[in-house]
Amino acid sequence: MKLLNPYTKSKSYNKNLLKKKLGNFIVNNKFLNKNKVEINFKLFDDDVLLPSDIRVEINHILMSEIVFMEDFNRLKKGLHKLFKLNQNQGYYYFNPRNIDDFFERLFSNIRSRNIQNTFKMTIKDVQLRKFCKELTFSLASVSNSIVAINIHISPSDNFKTMISEAMKGDTDKGFIQMIPPRYIKDTLKPHSWQTVSFNKQEYKLSLIEDLILELKWEVSCYLSKYLPLYFFKNKVISPSIEVYNTHLISLPLQGNELLSKMESAGIFSSFLCESNERGDIHLVFNDDFQNNRDISIKMHLNEVYNENHTSTISNKIIPHIANPYLIQLLSIQTMTKLYEKRTLKHKKKYDKVSSINLPKLVKYRMLSRLKIEMEKNNFHFSRLDREINYEFYEYMIKRYEREVGKTTNILKSYKLSETLTNVPIDIFDQSNFMFKSIYDQVTNQIHFLDNIINFKRQSTMLILTVITIVISLLTLIFTLLTFISTFE
């Protein structure tokens, strides 16, 4: 299946394909190639086949989008329209009145942190039906001016098959990234090219993520026709929690032994991993790095066994209760990373304008545009600074720990709760400090340039005034002389 989402296309193994073909031709040409330089990063073992004693099946995906108060009316109208187009009978608590009740409680209670199921829709769109069969919507109040749309995606049988085949199968080869020579004159010299090859496990991990990205992108494209989706509008991947059913046919595995087998299902074992005390809920945090584009949590419902080989898997409703709190933390982390990227973008623009020798009026206009852009982009992020505090994070973590229970970190690194609270706070504080510093510098430069430009304008106006007075006097004198000459 051809993947159309822009996030997959931006990955290194999908970019500069012509350059890679040229590099492959030059490097592999037996007449040109005599000593090729090759760099090989071996990140995983070569064996990527899923063991026969473990079965993994994707259950559902919880995706989150956020909406700011300026778009609340559009959100309400869009949800009502979706409900009318896709009415689903048989669920008494799924009705349009829930949408209005949610916003009434939101505006009537300052400290409201409610989560409201709204409705379930059966997919009728032909394209979207290839990926999912049902969507269930719920609303969660992040703050009084920010609402999260939680979308439970029930994958289609076709999509489940694609994920299952990607997990079970072996990849023919890892992907190869060609690094061209520094200078154009060395292009036809094979020894000047470098190939960075990543092995099968890294490639398999990316292929599975690509399928998840395609599913989320298709859902976002469809819903954006009706709903104001902030992440989608800003070309950011919506955070998600992927829920899998995992069946261990043999005796239960613990710790790194389990992870080594789960790597074959597309899980990178160096990610942050946690399990609850019963061992039936396993969480893997996936952050964006290298070829990964997604901020997500993989939640595995592990079927474990006691001494009598009796299954002790917990109630599968647990993840549905815990997810809304985890997904809100992921949404905040996604927002903070977007803030960080935009702040770095502003800094890059400011450094570029400051370093170039430009006419003062041109620089003044460029800095003024940058200031307006910074104020516009910071409009929503400033609300996070005012409305999201430590109390919010503590509440979310308590609800998460209440539902999942005490967790153990297998890799002995940071706890998941610490990663989803401390990291966003640190990123936001650093980005906020950088933003204010850049904004102050831009403002001071604009003020300085404005004074210089005004001074030049005043000088120019003074000169023009003097010239005008001189011309007027000369005109007057000439008129008087002409008048006197007529009487003579």
SS (H, E, C) 353-399: HHHCCCCHHHHHHHHHHHHHHHHHHHHHHHHHHHHCCHHHHHHHHHH
Residue 345 half-sphere exposure, CB side, CA atoms within 13 Å? 12
Report which of 184, 181, 293, 183 is spatially closest to residue 238, judged by C-alpha positions: 293
Cβ-contact 102, 95 below 8 angstroms: no
Q: Which residues pair with 64 in a beta bridge?
A: 150
User: Exposed, middle or buried, 103 (CB in 10 Å: 0-12/13-18/19+)?
Assistant: middle
pLDDT attached to residue 413: 57
Cβ-contact 411, 270 below 8 angstroms: yes
User: Exposed, middle or buried, 176 (CB in 10 Å: 0-12/13-18/19+)?
Assistant: middle
DSSP assigned state of 195: E
Q: Letter for the amino acid at 311?
A: S
List all residues 6 or more positions away from 369 whose beta carbon is below 8 Å from its beta carbon: none
- Of residues 331 and 252, the one with the higher pLDDT is 331
- Region 48-55 average pLDDT: 67
Mean pLDDT of the chain: 76
Cβ-contact 4, 217 below 8 angstroms: yes
Q: What's the start-to-end Cα distance of the chain, in Å?
A: 103
Cβ-contact 327, 62 below 8 angstroms: yes
Kindly state the tokens that stand for 8: 């997959």
Helix (H, G, I), strand (E, B) or coil at 4: coil
Helix (H, G, I), strand (E, B) or coil at 249: coil
DSSP assigned state of 470: H
Query: What is the spatial distance between Cα 146 and Cα 133, in angstroms, rounded to a whole number?
Result: 29
Q: Which residues pair with 118 in a beta bridge?
A: none
Maximum Cα–Cα distance for the chain, whole Å? 135
Beta strands in 250-291 (DSSP E): 272-276, 281-286
Kindly state the tokens that stand for 484: 């006197």
Element (H, E) at 218: helix 200-223
- Region 433-460 average pLDDT: 87
Q: Letter for the amino acid at 305?
A: Y
Residue carrying structure tokens 């350059």? 19
Element (H, E) at 196: strand 194-198
pLDDT attached to residue 220: 93
Is the pLDDT score of 219 beyond 90?
yes
What digits encode the pLDDT tens for the residues 355-368?
A: 888 888 888 889 99
List all residues 6 or more positions away from 475 whose beta carbon is below 8 Å from its beta carbon: none
Is the pLDDT score of 134 beyond 90?
no
Is the pLDDT score of 131 beyond 50?
yes
Is the pLDDT score of 315 beyond 50?
no
Q: Which residues pair with 297 in a beta bridge?
A: 241, 285
What digits encode the pLDDT tens for the residues 161-213?
A: 888 888 776 665 555 666 667 666 666 666 666 666 666 666 777 788 888 99
pLDDT attached to residue 109: 67
pTM for this prediction:
0.78
Q: DSSP for 303-346, please give it.
A: E-B-TT--B-PPPTTHHHHHHHHHHHHHHHHHHHHHHHHHHHHH
Query: What is the spatial distance between Cα 384 and Cα 132, in angstroms, rounded to a whole number?
Result: 33
What digits encode the pLDDT tens for the residues 326-354?
A: 888 888 888 888 899 999 999 999 998 88
Helix (H, G, I), strand (E, B) or coil at 227: coil
Percentage of residues in the chain having pLDDT higher than 70: 67
Residue 99 dihedral angles phi and psi, to the nearest 5°: -65, -50
- Give, in degrees to the nearest 5, the angle at Cα 272 between 200 and 164: 45
What digits encode the pLDDT tens for the residues 96-119?
A: 778 888 888 877 765 556 677 777
Is the pLDDT score of 148 beyond 70?
yes
Helix (H, G, I), strand (E, B) or coil at 59: strand
